[in-house]
Amino acid sequence: MIFYVLLHGFPDLPTIWEPLLKSLPKGQKILTPNLWQLGIEKNKPISSEKVAAKIYFDLRKQGFGENDQLIVIGHDLGAVYATELARLAPRQTMLTLLNGLTPQMLLARMQSGTQILKSWYIWLMQLPLLPKGLLLLDKKLPARIARLAHRPETPEMCSKEDLVHGLQMYRKLFRESLLLRKSGTRKIKKIILIWGVQDPFLNSPTESEFSPLAHEVEIHLLDNHHWPQLHSPEQVAHIIHANT
């Protein structure tokens, strides 16, 4: 059986996957967890490994076993958790990332001037108090930034509480990324990158960035912005389907 796990980014909700879900094959087990609920315990963000363990256990409860195939799709911040999840079942997983990187990759990219400029908001989020204050003062701020980045109005974005959770998780991931992961973990079977090249936040990916993570890397560049699953859901579904 094929299991799908779709992990949204910031400041989105699982509803971001609705257009894509309509184009995925019917009759499969599909999980679209809300990361803002999974990633916070006792008001504190938990590590990306712990979030992945929770999702993996959910999969096992749904019947995922050693003979099943897992397709993990991560967008934006969801790419981090998607990669951690894929590492738990590397032999069975095909990882698909839509305009998203691991924090280590993002840090490595910071040698590029254009990427530093595009990542201004990540640095802003690391400041004490200010980003939370801005979100609490103006909860429409992320929506305005998203609109500037050509995100459609629908589906809706996360609530004020979720925004704060997302911010906490962003900061936690940034701290995690500073602790370098040592090599030795098994490579994932395959990574497919589906990338909107008009992305105002992230430069386009290269094969060499992702080859340490997977035996096979396939890159599809689309004439989209940061949300290819909203702009071209049928095309994204077609690429995923062609690889299953």
Partner 1 sequence: MQTPDLEKLKACQHVARLGVQETVRAIQEGWSEQQACHYLETVLKDLGVDNYFHRPFAWFGERTRFDGIRLYPQFKPRKDRFLKPDEVVILDVAPLFQGVSSDIGYSFSLEPREDLQTAKNYLKKLRETIRQNFETKGVASTIWKTIARDIEANGYDVIHRRYPLQVLGHRLYNHPQHSSHFHFMNFGLEAYKSLLMGGVISEVISPYFQKSVEGIWAIEPHIGKSNVGSSFGAKFEEILVVENGQARWLDEEFI
Contact footprint for partner 1 (CB under 8 A): 42, 47, 49-50, 52-54, 56-57, 60, 87-91, 181-182, 184-186
Given the complex with partner 1, which of 132 and 187 has the nearer CB atom? Answer: 187
**Which is nearer to partner 1, 91 or 241 (by Cβ)?**
91
Q: Distance from CA of residue 20 to its chain's centroid?
A: 15
The residue among 202 and 213 lying less far from partner 1, judged by its C-beta, is 213
Q: Cβ 88 to partner 1, closest distance in Å? A: 7
Nearer to partner 1, 55 or 79 (CB): 55
Give whichever of 49 and 209 is closer to partner 1, judged by the CB atom: 49
* Cα-based distances in Å from 145 to 10, 29, 83, 226: 12, 34, 26, 12
CA–chain centroid gap for 143, Å, is 18
For 42, other C-beta atoms within 10 Å of its C-beta total 5
Q: What is the 3-state secondary structure (H, E, C) of 111-178?
A: CCHHHHHHCHHHHHHCCCCHHHHHHHHCCCHHHHHHHHCCCCCCCCCCCHHHHHHHHHHHHHHHHHHH
C-alpha distances (whole Å) from 95 to each of 36, 140, 185 are: 21, 32, 16
Nearest-approach distance from CB 121 to partner 1, in angstroms: 28
Query: Residue 167 in contact with residue 132, Cβ under 8 Å?
Result: yes
Residue 30, SS3 per DSSP = strand
Which CB sits closer to partner 1, 88 or 97? 88
Output the smallest distance, CB 50 to partner 1, in A: 5
In the complex, least distance from residue 42 CB atom to partner 1, rounded to whole angstroms: 8
Cα–Cα distance for residue pair 81/85, rounded to 1 Å: 6
Least Å from the CB of residue 126 to partner 1: 22
**Cβ 226 to partner 1, closest distance in Å?**
30
